[in-house]
Structure formats: structure tokens, C-alpha cells
Amino acid sequence: MIDLTNDTALNSAMERICSKIGDMGLKYYIETYGCQMNEHDSEKIAGMLVKCGYTKADSKQDADFILFNTCCVREHAELRTFGNVGFIKELKQLNPRLILGVCGCMMQQKDVADKLYKRFPFVDLIFGTHELKNFPFMLEKVLDNERIINISEMNGEVIEGLPVERTPGFSTFVNIMYGCNNFCTYCIVPYVRGRERSRRAEDVVNEVREVVALGYKEVTLLGQNVNSYYSDGVNFPKLLEMVNSVPGLTRLRFMTSHPKDLSDELIEAMAKLDKVGKHIHLPVQSGSDEILRRMNRRYTASQYLELVSKLRSKVKDVEITTDIIVGFPGETEEDFEATCDIVRKVGYSNAYTFAYSPREGTIAAKMPDQIAQEVKKQRLNKLNAVLAETIPCGNKKYIGFEGDILIEGVDHRAEPLLFGKLSNFKMVYVQGDEKLIGTMVHVKVDGLRFNSLFGHITD
Ligand code: 5AD
Ligand code: SF4
């Protein structure tokens, strides 16, 4: 672990930049792609930029520093990033002091970063996922007109003490671990985020205390595979218990859970800890045992279904969401039908569906029997139709349901309605005063409109 809270070199670099540009009124704009992990990295970069004297810009046109924080997990990411970067050339002509940076998972792939560096001479700064902590040093050089590309091959460490500029609201993220050791054969994450490493439990708890003091009510603990969190004798269920007892915290969520590591102890913890949301994101990826085996997921469809029934029997009103890939190499019609089948059996409350896209460097990209694009598209459409049928079925049981929602905002689409989520992530709309935003209220669900729950405040 490297603690940078009082790091003289880092703080002096940020101070030097601040005294150089502090009164120039420079603004930053960060565009983030991909998962919450990336979003949270962007909040850390924003934290450093604020310490360097930058303020947030409302648009790219308004910015003196634009950063693309890229993702490479799914399809077309490269094409989109190269397109976005190309568009900035014009802005650079309008604002000669504009700095353009590109970072994140895609830039951790050295060949892609090199290609971007060569193709777009107006990109000033490129850095990979393990270089966050060196951002101020790189920025300082770029402000002195150097062009920087910095991709380190190391696996990364746990870095503490970077400033964070959090997105305002009621809910925020806290990392509990970084990287992944699972090597699902389709996935690029272990290659671009490095091996799994957990933060110390006391650092996690302290950060949760800090965000509660800042006024956040809900915290989502983040990791690629939170169930394998382990640090100095503290496993994930114990960590949940520690965070659950932070005074002032209202709701606690976590993601993502790998089915192979979902322990009975965690299910018990979800059931008994009052602040822990009764919701789990449990990616199934496929319903076919053969595809699951080739994906290296290390569970079978029936083991997954057993977990689901265990969750349902122990955690009252639990809701389950998932990720699914169609068109994995060698996927037959029967394999695909098995996926539709498991979707019907589980009854998810939501699902993210993807057409398999080969990621260079992963095992699946080299597998024979890659599926044609049209077939993947057809299967994706069919799967989405199954979900569109099954998801709303789960809503009917909520008529008459009572529970607490944390009011997030007002929806103005038709009549103004407050909205917020139940502990299990189900969204409920109610009439009420805007002053209630950010508070927890008790509601009763009266009915359904389209696919949403509508109710009234009872206290
Ligand atoms: N192709 C399609 N989907 C993918 N995912 C990860 N890698 C790929 C890929 N190569 C999906 C998985 C994962 C989610 C975050 O992205 O479903 O759970
Ligand atoms: Fe990728 Fe599998 Fe790790 Fe998730 S668990 S990040 S899908 S390798």
C-alpha cells in the first residue's frame, strides 16, 4: 500500500501547478466511459485537478483540459474513442492552450495507446490505469509543452490518500479492491487492471465515514469481484458488517459479485445487516454449462440456480440483476436457448445484455467457431424480448408493498413526481414536496404505470 496523503513530492507538484495557473481561471472536462470503477477514477483525477487550481467546465467547448477516460471492455470502444479524439482537433485550433489527455483501460493496452499517440499528434497526454498517482507530475510536464505517453506494465498497487472530487448527490462510490484474478476467457479486465488487491478494512471504513460527513447517504462498495475481498483477516461479509455500523450511513450497496464466490456467510450478512440493500448484481453470462465452462466461469447453470433460491429463501424481498453475453464462440442454438431458459427461471429485475465481442489478448478471441455478427444480433434481440416479457412480471407482487425509499429527485415527464429506490433497488414514484429530496421516506405501492411502481408516502 502506498499512502500519498502527506506525500511531499505529489503535494508540491500540485502546489507548483496551482501557483503557475491558479489565477488563469482554467477549467477541466472529463468524459468517462465504462464502469463505475472508471467513474471513480475520474473523480480522483478531478480531485487532483481541483488541487492544481482547475475548476469544472460545463462543456468541452468551455474547457482548457479535456480528458477521455476510456473503457475497452466491449465492442466499438476503440472506434468511438478515436472518433471523439479526432473531434477535439477543431477545439484545439480555437483554444491554443487546450490540453487533451486520454487515459483508462483502453490506454493500458500498449499497442492501442501507441497507435493513438502516432495518429493524433495533438494529443498531449496518454496514461494507463496504473499511473493515476503520477498524474500531477505528467500534467506539469505537459504544461511545459512536453508530450507524454506513460503506460506502465506493473500490476499496480493500492494507493491511498489521493484527493477525490465526488459527483454531488446522495450516493457515492468507495473502492474496496482493484483488479481481478478470474480470467474469464472473454474479459480484458485482468490484463488492463492487473491482479486482485484489497484495500485495508480500516481505510475503507474511514473513507465511508468521510463521505457520510460530506452528506452522502448511500455508499456503493466497488470491486470487480467483491466476494473475494480479503485484508488482514477481514473478508467481505465482515467488511460489510464494519461499514454497516458507520453512524449516519443510510444505505450500503456493493458490486460486482461473482457467483462462484458468493458464500453463505455473505447471504447471511445481506439478510441481517439493516443498511445493506437487498439487491445483488450476479452476472450469469450464459445458461449453458458448456459455454460457462469455456468462459471459465467455474459454476454450472444448476449451481447458479441453487444460489438464487438460497438468496430468495434467506434474504427477504431480494432482487437480482445480471449481465449476459450472447454469441460466445461455439454457442449453438441450444446453448442460447439455455440462456433464455435461465432468464425465465430466475426472474431478474434488470439485466445488461451484450453481444460477445473478441478482445485482443484474451483466450476466447482465439477460439474457433466465432459466431457471425447477424446471428449475435438476432440472439441479442431475442434475449432482450425475453427480458422485456419477464422483468415486468416481477412488478405485480409489489402492489400493496410497503418500504423505505431514499428520495433521489423529481421526474418532470408528466406530473412532477418524486422518485427513489427501495432497499432492493426497485424504483418507486410518489407525489410529494421537493424538500424531501435526500431523505428517506416510508411508502406504500398502490399500482403500476407502464413498468414502474407508483405509490404514496405514508409517514
Ligand atoms: N464481449 C461482450 N461482453 C463482455 N463483457 C465483458 N467482456 C465482454 C466481451 N468481450 C460484459 C460481461 C461483464 C460486463 C461488465 O461486460 O457481461 O459482466
Ligand atoms: Fe472480467 Fe471475469 Fe474478472 Fe468480471 S470476474 S472482471 S468478467 S475476468
pLDDT confidence of 413, banded at 50, 70, 90?
confident
pTM: 0.94
- The response to whether residue 102 sits with its C-beta less than 6 Å from ligand 2 reads no
User: Which of 151-165, 169-183, 356-370 has the lowest average pLDDT?
Assistant: 151-165
Quote the radius of gyration of the chain (alpha carbons, Å): 23
The preferred substitution site among 37, 187, 322, 356 for testing ligand 1, maximizing ligand atoms within 8 Å of CB, is 187
Cα 431–chain centre separation: 31
Atom nearest to 359 CA in ligand 1 = 10
Per-residue pLDDT, 136: 97
For residues 193 and 106, give the distance between their C-alpha atoms in angstroms, rounded to a whole number: 10
pLDDT more than 70, % of the chain = 99
DSSP E strand stretches across 154-246:
159-160, 171-175, 177-178, 197-198, 218-222, 230-231, 234-235
For residues 127 and 14, give the distance between their C-alpha atoms in angstroms, rounded to a whole number: 18
283 C-alpha to ligand 2 centroid (Å) = 10
DSSP reduced 3-state for 145 = coil
Per-residue pLDDT, 63: 97
C-alpha cell at 17: 501547478
pLDDT confidence of 152, banded at 50, 70, 90?
confident
Atom nearest to 190 CA in ligand 2 = 8
335 C-alpha to ligand 1 centroid (Å) = 17
pLDDT of 450 above 80? no
Q: Which whole number is the average pLDDT over 297-313? A: 98
Atom nearest to 187 CA in ligand 2 = 1
